[in-house]
Chain A
Amino acid sequence: MSTPHVVPSDSPDKEKTSRAVDYFESVYELFKSSQRVTGPVERNYSIGGHLIRLSFAGEALLPISSALEHLATDDLSTPDLTICLWDSESTGQRMFQRPWEDDDFLARGVIQGYNTERIYTVFQYGSAAVSVLDKERNLAIFWVPDPNIPYWEKGAPLRVLLHWWLLSKGLQLVHAAAVGNSSGGVLIGGKGGSGKSTTALSCLESDLSYIGDDYTLLGMDSGPAVYSLYNSAKLNSDHVQRFPELLPKIANPDRLTEEKALLFVNEHYPSKVATQLPVRAILVPRVTGLTDTTWKRVSVAMTLAALAPSTIFQLPRAGNEAFKFLAAFARPLPCYSLEVGTDLSTIPRAIEALLAEVDSDSSLQEE
């Protein structure tokens, strides 16, 4: 089936807006009905400096929040965004028949006719989740038929809703890892399997802090900065053997034949997780087969080509705006190919040395 990707929003005519708002309201009523039965369960998180409340119908979906626990807060003031979560299996509340046709499922699960400037609607094929955001009300809904969501959703929960809403606050979700120290951080970009997780996880036993290994948030309001989003890490099951110290910490050890190894870094290395760092450089990992890890300067354009497509093509309604953001973010930063060695201990050492070099270069330029 042909699935056109460029659907920034449907034409903003009143009929479509009304239909999308009515749809949101109908799903919201179902959520409230579910929550009346199960009772409310609420958790609050500070994500990229914004207070976000997860309001659950019962406890069945609570495990979804493990990846966000490092950002948990006791702040009970009015949230900037509320996400309502419910499932049909545990609440007994069924989702109504979908009001759109098969042909209305567009690329990345965007639903044609239910996406406007105000309302964002997406179906996620992996978990069969429906996510709907009302930007005007700072209110979102996440529904799944079954609370036993796939491991990759547990690792990066509510990714689409957070991407949409945080973008309106000047924060771009990016498919990149990040680590750093008091000098600042490095963003580590590249498609799946390029070495992001290996690089980030190899730093857990070093002096470097961990921001994320797969998806992070970028901001530019006070200079280029990276914000932690998820404390989860995913590794191919054969790859995890290279990290024997992590093996007993894997969250899904009995399912490694069919799933990637999932690790919640915050549960085992809470002091290593940083929530934000200024970004000093962007790295694109390249596995060399050599023992040591080194680095070499590469062009910003090459780095953007490694960073942008793998971000844009994973996110519904991402396109030109995300690309321009990432280009503006990368443009002033030095970019490097991180030539990743087989001796994992050389990775954090190389990153620390690189950060010191960038720091030194910056000081010389300021003089």
Chain B
Amino acid sequence: MSSNQRFRVNAPTVTHEIIDGEAVIINLDSGNYYSLVDVGSFIWGLIEKGASATDLQNRVLQNYQGNATDVDRGVQELLGQLQQENLIVPVDRADGFDQLHEASSSNDHEKPAFNPPMLQKYSDMQELLLLDPIHDVDDAGWPKPTPDPPK
């Protein structure tokens, strides 16, 4: 992956919200939903603003205590997961990411420790989407009633 690669949230398939530092993300097509906390939510917020992979690494290093190798690996792995789940897609956008958009802590002692971001995935809603909609049809082409109620 190019370090200058930028992404966008895969809207309208994906809807999301960050509340009090936690991101909730829903893939409306797959029925899966996700949460990101701490540095994961921080990175999600930056992706939304158009940060490239390099921007993400720089910004995480500015705001969290960790070494560059660990941060690089953590960011790349998260970007890979987010793409695999179709939550973000690469874009060719050339416009830059505002590096000064948010003030960062200059004192390492004030920064929280970097822990690799974890994308928490929930698949318990899929059953609502995986129903085969076409069952037997009547002579006017209408699907017949199904025996099972909605969940």
Residues of A at under 8 Å CB distance from B?
1, 3-6, 8, 94-98, 102, 105-107, 109, 123, 125-128, 145-146, 150-152, 191-192, 260, 299-302, 304-305, 308-310, 312-314, 319-320, 323-324, 327, 330-331
Contact = CB atoms under 8 A, between A and B. Distances in A.
Interface stretch (B16-24, B62-70, B77-85): B16-24
Given A3-B133, A5-B29, A102-B134, 9 more contacts: A126-B146, A126-B150, A128-B145, A150-B145, A300-B22, A308-B24, A312-B28, A319-B15, A320-B12
Contacts of B135: 125
Interface of B is mostly: loop
Contact of B20 (A5, A94, A151, A299): A299
B129 interface: yes
A284 to B, nearest CB: 13
B31 interface: yes
Interface stretch (B51-59, B92-100, B104-112, B120-128): B120-128
A300 B33 CA distance: 15
B144 A327 contact: no
- Give the most central of B24, B26, B131: most A CB within 10 Å: B24
Nearest to B137: A102
Contact of A304 (B19, B144, B145): B19
B13 interface: yes
Interface residues of B, number: 39
Interface of B: 11-13, 15, 17-20, 22-24, 26, 28-29, 31, 33, 35, 122, 124-125, 128-129, 131-135, 138, 140-146, 148-151
Given A125-B133, A302-B22, A304-B19, A313 B128 contact: yes
A300 B19 contact: yes
Contact of B140 (A94, A305, A320): A94
A191 B151 contact: yes
A299 B19 CA distance: 9
